[in-house]
Every structure is written in C-alpha cells, then in structure tokens.
Structure 1
Amino acid sequence: MADTLLLRCLKSQPKVLNLSSKKLEKCPKIIGRLQSVIQLDLKNNRLTSLPHEFGELVHLEILNIGNNELTELPEILKECLGLQKLHAFKNQILYLQPTLLPCLTHLRLLNLNNNQLRRLPPEICRLGQLQYLSIDHNLIQELPFELCAVTALEELHVAYNQLTSLPLEIGYLRNLQKLHVQKNQIRELPESLGKCFKLRVLDVAANDLRIFPTEFSQLPLSEFYCELNPLLQHVPRASYLRQAIRRYPNISELLSQSSKCSVCGESFLNTWLECVQFVDAHKALNTANQTGMVPVRALLCSYRCFNEPGHEFYGVAFP
C-alpha cells in the first residue's frame, strides 16, 4: 500500500508526505527518490529503523517518527543536514548517539517524550540552534552541564523524570522562556536560575523543594507552579546559620555564581549566611495563578549584616 502511494508520488514530487498509521514495519526504500519532500510524517507505525536511502532526502526539514519501535535515533539522519524539527516521541529509545548530534546543526526542535532515556550525552551542546527540547516521561537522573551551552534554547521540558538537581550553569540559558521540571525529585534550584532574565513560565510542582533562589523574585514570571513541594511554611522558631564555601574551577563560573548580600548589597563569592525571606507570590512575582507566601533564599555576606536591625531575613538550616 505504501509502495503504491510512493510510486504515485514520484510523478508529482510532493513537498509534504503523510505515511502515518500505515502499519509499516519497514520504510520503503523508494522513499529516497522523493527528494522534493520537506515534511515527512511516519508516526504510528512499527518501524525499527530507516533505510539507507533515507539519506537522499536532502531537503527534509520536518520529520515525525513518533510512536514507532525505534531503540535509537537512526544513524542515517546525519545525512539529513537541513533537518529542523524532529519528533521521535513514544519509541523505545535508550540513548542518543554522540556521533549523530553534531550533524544536526540546524535542528530547532527535538521531541523525545515517552522514551527510555537515562541521560543526555555531552554532545548535546552541538545542537547550537536548538530552541525547543522536550524529554518528558523518561528515566533521566541528571542533565549534563553542556546543555547550558545551547544558548538558543527557549523551552526545556524535563517533567516526569528522576532529576534530583539542575545544572549549576543553567543561568547561561539567557533565552530560556519556559522551564518545565515538574514531577521530579529536585531538592534545590541553582542560584544562577536568577540569571534567566527571559523566563516567563516555571513549573517545579511535585518536587522536593523547600526554598527558592535569592534572585527568584526578580524573574519576569507570568506563570509559576510550585504545588506539592515541602516548602517552608513559617519562620523557624530558632535562627540557624549555615556557612558554606564554594570553590570554582574557572573564572567564568565564578562570575556566573557570584552573589549579592541581601542587606548591604555588596557582592561576594565564597562565604555567606543562608537565610529565608517570605514573599507574597502574587505581589512580588506578578503571577495570577500562584498566591500565598513563597520562601525565597537570602544570602548575607557576614554576621554583621545578619545582626543589622530592621530586615526580615531569618537564619535557616536544612537537614
């Protein structure tokens, strides 16, 4: 049936081709002769691979191979140099080949939802034009810091995974507008999240968060979701002070992780007192969907600032 359809297409050389829901176990080799195709839909089949002839689709920009039986992204896709959007959701993909990613230099959208990925390779940073990445419903435990080099990224979806943290370098994603990491096991958000000056939507619901970063209230959020987290709900009866020293391997990371004292406003790098301040989510964040008091981390540079009268910062310690 698919062969007959493709034979008919040889005469017309269409730009858009729909082969979805055809019960295909193999993609017909004749597909390589349809070099005019820009958009190809192969979703809802039984494909386990793509033929070598697929590499002849030199003008292909949009490919949907979702809901098939692939265990990896087909290596032949490295020949599709103009590919801009790749949907590979609901397969059985276990990993991303490091040799494939550097070839997808024009990729702007990558949808890998509902697979079995446990990690992303460091080579993810080679997707320099990637704007949208969705890896919801996988088994990912950690995001590589190299992902933060994809500075064109505008949307990142990593919900329903097994994350316990986010990369400290996430502040380098200066174009990030939407971050969805709900239903993970994240205990703390990086301080550099406050550097994501374009972030409008943040969903951290159903994690293990107790407090938010220092510059959190300065984010231009229009939507914020934090329900089902064990957030601090009141000022601790006793003030606990915690000192920590962070050492950084290079100067750029030092600059990206620098902090300002919430009392005196001076910058510091190494040592602080960690406190909490409760802010009104509706007033401070200007969000319509989130109300109530939100615990926000405050970093103080010294005991002297902590003992200054008139501030509303309270020392806190976590187990």
Structure 2
Amino acid sequence: MENLKELRELYLSDNQLTTLPNEIGNLQKLQALYLKNNKLTTLPNEIGKLQKLQHLELDHNQLKTLPNEIEKLEKLEKLDLRNNQLTILPKEIGKLQELEWLSLDYNQLKTIPKEIGKLQKLPHLYLHHNQLKTLPKEIGYLKDLESLNLDHNQLKTIPKEIGYLKGLEELDLRNNQLTILPKEIGYLKKLKVLDLSDNQLKTLPKEIGNLKKLQELYLSDNKLTTLPKEIGYLKKLWLLDLSRNQLTALPKEIGYLKDLELLDLSSNKLKTLSKEIGKLQKLHTLNLDDIPALKSQEKKIQKLIPKASIDFIDIKR
C-alpha cells in the first residue's frame, strides 16, 4: 500500500477478507472505505490513522468488538456496522461527533454506552434486532435525531429523557417488552410515525394526545383494555392499528379523527361500535375480523360508513 498514499476511496466489499493489514493505516488521505460482505472478525488499531475518513461501511461481517482507536476518526459521517456480532460498543464511539448515520442493527448488543449522547449531530440511529434491555438516559441528548429504530429488543421501559428528542419524526419500538410508556412521550411534538406493536402495554398515557403531527400509530399485539379519550386529539392520524388487543369499547372521541383512512380493530372484544364511527368520512378500510359479536351488526355498521370497505370473519368457516 506504499504506492496508494493519495487514494481517496477504497472498495473491498463482497470478498472473503478475514483480516486487514496494518498498512491500511498508511492511506491517510482515504475518505471512504467500503468493506461490507466480508468475513472480518477484528479491525487493526491502525484504522485510527485514517483521520480523513468520512464513510466507513463494515456491515455484514463477523466483528465482535471495535478497537478503541476508532475514536480518532473524528471526521466520520457514516458508520455502518449492521449485521455483525458486536456485543459491546466502546465508549470512544462518543468521540465521533460528526456522525450523521449510525447503523448498529442486527448485532448482539445488550447495552449502549452513555457516551452515545455526545453524537449530537446524529439524525438517524438504528439499533433494532439487538438484545438491549435498557437505554441510557443520555439518549435524550441527541437533539438532532429524526428517526430512532429500536424494534426487536428486550426493552421493558424507556427513559423519560426520550421526551427531549424534540425533532424526532419516527420512533419504532415494536417487538419489545414495554409495559408502560412515560408521559414524556407527549413532548415529541414532531412525531409522525409511532410503532408500539408487539409489546405488553395495558394503557396509554393521556399525553399521547399531544402528538398533534402523528400520522401513523401502530398498537397491535398489546394488552390494551381501554384507550384514553385524548386519542381524539390526533387530528392528522390516517392509520390506526389496534388489532389483537383486549378492547371492549372505543371512546366516543374516536369520531374526531377526521383524516383517518385505515382503522384495524380485528381480534378485540368489542360488543358494539358507537355511532361516532360514522363521523370518519375519509375512512376507506375498517378491519373487524375475529370479532364475532359485531358480525350480526354488519348492515348497521355499513350504513354508518357506507364508503368504507369492512372486513369481517365468517365464523362458520
């Protein structure tokens, strides 16, 4: 590599590399290094000499750890580490303060260092499909975060500091073990998509009604028995998925959701639908599958919302 000192980009993806030579550190003008789809298990400490590096793609390898020297890559903007075998992140990750993209999904991470909170320019953070049980409160310092993906982990709670993420537009928490949401969720005033499906939620905080820009709300496969009346404040909502819960009734305020187009109520314990459902003039799809008590009310419901396509289960099948 002695003759490559002027190299700006190096593409080594889709090979069978198991190691990188220490001499990689000689490429000190390198700005982009592509190493995805190899068989790397470690990185040499000399990677830290690539101080002009802006893009580092290491996804789909077999990395178990990262060298502490990664902290020296202070100009790094994109770091892709998805689909590796990482069990821990070095605290030095917090030195990469120019990061705009960090993908850590499909690893084996159990914790995230508190230093993650120093990445204050980061708009996108992908942590889904790990083994996270908790999040550090410092995650609330990521003031520029727009999307946070945490699905398929083992989270039982999320810190109240989540409410500091004022710019967050998408929050994915599906397939965790959440039993409660902090009321601070209501501070996420720019949130457009919230996915809480496949958890163990029994109630929602009334503050959920503060999410005035919310367009999509996914709550399927929880243990909800009631909804707060404040759900009616979500005037921009066009999709509401409440399937596979334990709801016996809907609040009359559901009728305030004038932009709602798709409502999934399948596999609940509803005995009847209130007439307020008829106020949903934009509703075009209503799923009532697996609610036998409503099958006999099909004509009445169809009359309330004549423009909507209503799906029922045929209990004789």
Report Cα offsets for 1:219-272 as digits up to 9, x if no partner. Answer: 11122211111111589xxxxxxxxxxxxxxxxxxxxxxxxxx9xxxxxxxxxx
Report the counterpart of residue 188 of structure 1 in structure 2.
203
Match of 1:34 among 42, 50, 57: 50
1:212 positional shift? 1.9
Question: Which whole-Å CA distance do the structure 1 matches of 2:180 and 2:43 have between them?
Answer: 40
Question: Which whole-Å CA distance do the structure 2 matches of 1:234 and 1:39 have between them?
Answer: 49
The reply to whether residue 144 of structure 1 matches residue 159 of structure 2 is yes
Question: Which whole-Å CA distance do the structure 2 matches of 1:124 and 1:5 have between them?
Answer: 34
Report the counterpart of residue 76 of structure 1 in structure 2.
92
Residue 20 of structure 1: SS of its match in structure 2?
coil
The reply to whether residue 103 of structure 1 matches residue 118 of structure 2 is yes
- AA aligned to 1:160 is N
Question: Which whole-Å CA distance do the structure 2 matches of 1:31 and 1:191 have between them?
Answer: 49
1:151 positional shift? 1.2
TM-score by length of 1: 0.71
Matches of residues 54-93 of structure 1 in structure 2 within 5 Å?
54-93=70-109
1:288 positional shift? 4.1
Residue 202 of structure 1: SS of its match in structure 2?
strand
- AA aligned to 1:163 is L
Question: Which whole-Å CA distance do the structure 1 matches of 2:35 and 2:58 have between them?
Answer: 5
CA, structure 1 residues 234+126, in 2 after alignment: closer, same or farther (shift >3 Å)? closer
Question: Which whole-Å CA distance do the structure 2 matches of 1:147 and 1:83 have between them?
Answer: 20
Report Cα offsets for 1:172-210 as digits up to 9, x if no partner. Answer: 110111100100111111111111011011100111112
Question: Which whole-Å CA distance do the structure 2 matches of 1:165 and 1:51 have between them?
Answer: 37
The reply to whether residue 10 of structure 1 matches residue 27 of structure 2 is yes
- AA aligned to 2:88 is E
> Larger strand proportion, structure 1 or 2?
1
Question: Which whole-Å CA distance do the structure 2 matches of 1:195 and 1:171 have between them?
Answer: 5
CA, structure 1 residues 282+65, in 2 after alignment: closer, same or farther (shift >3 Å)? farther
1:39 positional shift? 1.8
Report the counterpart of residue 198 of structure 1 in structure 2.
213
- AA aligned to 1:89 is D
Report Cα offsets for 1:88-116 as digits up to 9, x if no partner. Answer: 11111111222x12321112111111111
- Is the CA contact 2:39–2:62 (under 8 Å) kept in the aligned structure 1? yes
Question: Which whole-Å CA distance do the structure 2 matches of 1:285 and 1:33 have between them?
Answer: 61
- AA aligned to 1:85 is W
Question: Which whole-Å CA distance do the structure 2 matches of 1:119 and 1:80 have between them?
Answer: 22
The reply to whether residue 221 of structure 1 matches residue 217 of structure 2 is no
CA RMSD of aligned residues (A): 2.9
Report the counterpart of residue 133 of structure 2 in structure 1.
118
TM-score by length of 2: 0.71
Question: Which whole-Å CA distance do the structure 1 matches of 2:23 and 2:59 have between them?
Answer: 16
Question: Which whole-Å CA distance do the structure 1 matches of 2:180 and 2:164 have between them?
Answer: 17
User: Where does structure 2 lack aligned partners over 5 or more consecutive residues?
Assistant: 1-16, 257-271, 289-317
The reply to whether residue 94 of structure 1 matches residue 94 of structure 2 is no
Q: 4+ runs of 1 displaced by more than 6 Å?
A: none
CA, structure 1 residues 285+75, in 2 after alignment: closer, same or farther (shift >3 Å)? farther
- Is the CA contact 2:81–2:104 (under 8 Å) kept in the aligned structure 1? yes
